[in-house]
């Protein structure tokens, strides 16, 4: 995956149109304690979004975590981040223990996707950044 090799550290690709996704991503970058974590707004970065979609990772179905050659999607991406966090923000202190457990993250993640869908609908933003 040549387009990812130039990037250093793990990368969280999120839906910048969703206020919940944006807030989580910003806190994760700034206050999670994960060294070199970068965030990328997949909604505004069409080239990255299209390259990930070509590999089978659609932003409409959840956040995407790129760690070297490893790509995680949805609950697995959030689980990866939360299991490595040393959170300082209150929201992350609540979410990290919940989502650091893989079984719980897979159980709870669909609820987060529903909240995303509702937020986008209220804002009049299409679900699929397409």
- pLDDT tier, 7 (very low <50, low <70, confident <90, very high otherwise): low
Per-residue pLDDT for 122 more than 70? yes
- pLDDT tier, 2 (very low <50, low <70, confident <90, very high otherwise): very low
Query: Which CATH number is 74's domain given?
Result: 3.40.30
Domain containing 23 equals 8-123
Q: Given this model, what pLDDT does residue 5 score?
A: 45
Which residue has tokens 């923000």?
89
Q: Which residue has the higher pLDDT, 6 or 8?
A: 8
Domain total in the chain: 1
Q: Looking at the domain assignment, is residue 115 inside a domain? A: yes
DSSP H/E element including 65: strand 64-67
CA distances from 124 to 19, 24, 119, 128 (A): 13, 21, 9, 12
* 56-113 pLDDT per residue, tens: 999 999 999 999 889 999 999 999 999 998 888 888 888 899 999 999 999 999 999 9
Q: Name the DSSP letter for residue 102.
A: H
**Residue 39 phi, psi (nearest 5):** -115, 145
Q: Given this model, what pLDDT does residue 129 score?
A: 83
Q: Looking at the domain assignment, is residue 74 inside a domain? A: yes
Q: 13-41 burial by CB neighbour count: b if 16+ within 10 A, else e?
A: bbbbbbebbbebbebbbebbebeebbbbb
Q: Given this model, what pLDDT does residue 1 score?
A: 45
What's the average model confidence in pLDDT over 112-127? 94
Find all residues with CB under 8 Å of 68, minimum gap 6, and list them: 4
Q: Looking at the domain assignment, is residue 88 inside a domain? A: yes
Q: Looking at the domain assignment, is residue 64 inside a domain? A: yes
Q: Looking at the domain assignment, is residue 129 inside a domain? A: no
Q: Looking at the domain assignment, is residue 130 inside a domain? A: no
Q: Given this model, what pLDDT does residue 11 score?
A: 93
* 9-47 pLDDT per residue, tens: 899 999 999 999 999 888 887 777 888 889 999 999 999
């Amino acid at each position: 995956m040549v387009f990812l090799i130039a990037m250093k550290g793990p990368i969280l690709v999120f839906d910048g149109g969703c206020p919940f996704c944006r807030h989580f991503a910003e806190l994760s970058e700034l206050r999670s304690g994960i060294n070199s974590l970068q965030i990328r707004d997949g909604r505004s970065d069409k080239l990255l979004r299209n390259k990930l979609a070509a590999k089978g990772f659609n932003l409409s179905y959840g956040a995407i975590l790129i760690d070297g050659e490893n790509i995680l999607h949805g609950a697995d991406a959030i689980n990866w981040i939360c299991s490595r966090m040393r959170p300082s923000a209150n929201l992350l202190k609540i979410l990290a223990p919940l989502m650091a457990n893989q079984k719980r993250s897979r159980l709870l993640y669909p609820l987060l996707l529903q909240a995303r869908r509702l937020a986008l609908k209220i804002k009049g933003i299409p679900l699929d950044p397409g």
